[in-house]
Amino acid sequence: MSVIYEGHYTGLGTSHAIPVAASGNPTAGHRITLIVGANIDFSTITWPSGFSEIGRNNPGTTDPIFLAEKTAVGDEGTTVTVETGASIRVAAQSYVMDEQDTDTAVEVAFAHEIVTADDQPDPPSISHSWGSEAGTTIIAAANQSVGSNISFTAYPASYTDGSEDSVAAGGGGTSIGTARRVIEATSEDPGVFTMDGADFWNTATIALRGAAVGGGDPEGPLVGDGKLVGGGLLLSGRLVA
């Protein structure tokens, strides 16, 4: 697995253009995952063409997280637009990845704290349905209301590329933070984010299945891209008789 592009967006309104490519279009066949955090709870969200919602958590009046994914077809452009049913502040990130099994749905688990504020958002453990396979990507995400200019100061241990996007900190804003890890295990418990103050929060643990690697795949072994092997046809990295 490699992350080809990571996009970042913050804004206020009903139309939110989230970057998915630095220029041109995402490559056809790559998986696009959208992670959208908002400052207030709402129920109406319209995803861009071709995207399927993979989960949402609306725990109360603040800090909802919405997730969607799509296998790129190569005509998406540099941004995709998410519409919200109310004018709200949104902080969002996108992941565009290759080496993904896009026939297997993304799996997600949610957890939140909206009663007693604390400074350690804790994404829940997840046991993904495909078991222990090399190349499984886990994305840990946390959303908090930044009502007091609070920021993420640390990300789950063993996770890399932690990043945060905030809008209108200190005044009804929102902040989304993510980090990622590649594992070979049947389950994963990411551990906590750390913030520089106590607040309410919402978290998600997202599991994405990597493309199959040699030996154990019932459809046949993987072969190098662009190679002709015997009389077989190379299709999406697999040799098909």
Cβ contact 198:118 at 8 Å: yes
| Helix and strand numbers, DSSP H then E, in the chain | 0, 15
In terms of domains, do 103 and 91 share one? yes
pLDDT in tens, 132-191: 999 999 999 999 876 667 899 999 999 999 999 998 765 678 899 999 999 999 999 999
pLDDT in tens, 221-232: 444 444 433 443
SS3 content of the chain, % helix, strand, coil (to 5): 0, 50, 50
In terms of domains, do 13 and 62 share one? yes
In terms of domains, do 14 and 28 share one? yes
Q: Residue 219: pLDDT band by 50, 70, 90 thresholds?
A: very low
In terms of domains, do 25 and 8 share one? yes
In terms of domains, do 72 and 175 share one? yes
DSSP letter assigned to residue 108: E
Beta strand ranges found along 132-173 (DSSP E): 136-144, 152-154, 160-167
In terms of domains, do 218 and 120 share one? no
In terms of domains, do 221 and 236 share one? yes
pLDDT at residue number 224: 42
In terms of domains, do 21 and 61 share one? yes
pLDDT in tens, 186-213: 999 999 999 999 988 999 999 999 997 5
Cβ contact 204:125 at 8 Å: no
In terms of domains, do 38 and 108 share one? yes
In terms of domains, do 85 and 190 share one? yes
What range does the domain containing 232 cover?
212-241
In terms of domains, do 187 and 231 share one? no
Element (H, E) at 212: none
In terms of domains, do 167 and 238 share one? no
Q: How far apart are the first and last CA of the chain?
A: 26
Cβ contact 222:212 at 8 Å: yes
